[in-house]
Amino acid sequence: MGRKQSFTETELLDVTKRLILEHGYDGFHLKLLSQHLHGARSTIYQYYANKEEIVAACMKRVISDVLNKASLLDETDTMTALQHLLHIYLEESKLHQLLGDAHKIKTDNVKALDDLEFVEQAHSSLKVQLSRLFERAQQEKKIRTDMPLPILVGTFFNLINTPNMMNIPPHQWSGFLFQLWIGGSRG
């Protein structure tokens, strides 16, 4: 008899993220997850007790990565920092889709609740950083001061949803979008 193939927690969370993005929270279930992993379904339970724990852990991991990258950002040059932040957000452009399902997770699971609380705190930290950079950019007169900040921030965030139909490499794509945002579409 051969050994059972197993999978790591990282593989489990990678597949979870992909399946949630493909099927949504409601379409995601442990049977579907086990069909996409090499190993026994029971291995899932070595890591997480249920769907809620897995999904919350997945959300925490994704936002932790974004938060870590954003916290390492050199904010000396405000505009460069904003451009790099856009690139970080574009790398996880599906983050909002993933986090949009957080309210569906049952709140009676302590482990899932802890992860969701971390997600909320991380999201707040990212908002604080972004607001700080936008306010500095306005003070430095590097972005429009005649527009309310929420409009500038909103259009910045909408860049993340711009489809990359030409499959331009991510770093170059974020640069194009940033230049469009800064300069508008007039030539």
160 vs 78, residue with greater confidence: 78
Given this model, what pLDDT does residue 187 score? 54
Asked whether the predicted pLDDT for residue 28 surpasses 60, the reply is: yes
Domains, the chain? 9-183 (1.10.357.10)
pLDDT of residue 186: 60
Q: How many Cα neighbours within 13 Å face the side chain of 27?
A: 9
The better pLDDT of the pair 170, 99 is held by 170
Give 162's Cβ-side CA count (13 Å radius). 23
Separation of alpha carbons 168 and 174, rounded Å: 9
State the pLDDT at residue 116.
Answer: 94
The CA distance from 90 to 93, in Å, is 5
Average pLDDT across the chain, whole number: 89
CA dist 32 and 41 (Å) reads 10
Could you tell me the sign of the dihedral formed by the alpha carbons of 76, 73, 122, 118, in that order? negative
Q: What is the mean pLDDT of residues 82-88?
A: 95
Please check whether residue 98 is in contact with residue 21, taking contact to mean a CB–CB distance below 8 angstroms. Answer: yes
Residue type, 38: H
What pLDDT shows up at residue 158? Answer: 87
Residue 141 scores a pLDDT above 70: yes
Task: Work out the pLDDT band at 154, boundaries 50, 70, 90.
Answer: confident
Question: Which of the two residues, 45 and 97, has the higher pLDDT score?
Answer: 45
Confidence of residue 5 (pLDDT cuts 50, 70, 90): low
Top pLDDT among 106 and 187 is at 106
Confidence of residue 103 (pLDDT cuts 50, 70, 90): confident
Measured CA to CA, the distance from residue 172 to residue 158 in angstroms comes to 17
Q: DSSP letter string over the chain?
A: -PPPP---HHHHHHHHHHHHHHHHHHH--HHHHHHTSSS-GGGHHHH-SSHHHHHHHHHHHHHHHHHHHHHT---SSHHHHHHHHHHHHHHTTTHHHHHTTGGGS-TT-HHHHHHHHHHHHHHHHHHHHHHHHHHHHHHTTSS-SSS-HHHHHHHHHHGGGS--TT---HHHHHHHHHHHHHH-S--
Average pLDDT estimate for 133-154: 92
What tokens does 56 get?
């919350």
The reported pLDDT for the residue numbered 1 is 43
Look at residue 39 and tell me whether its pLDDT is greater than 70: yes
Is 50 exceeded by the pLDDT of residue 42?
yes
Res 95: pLDDT: 75
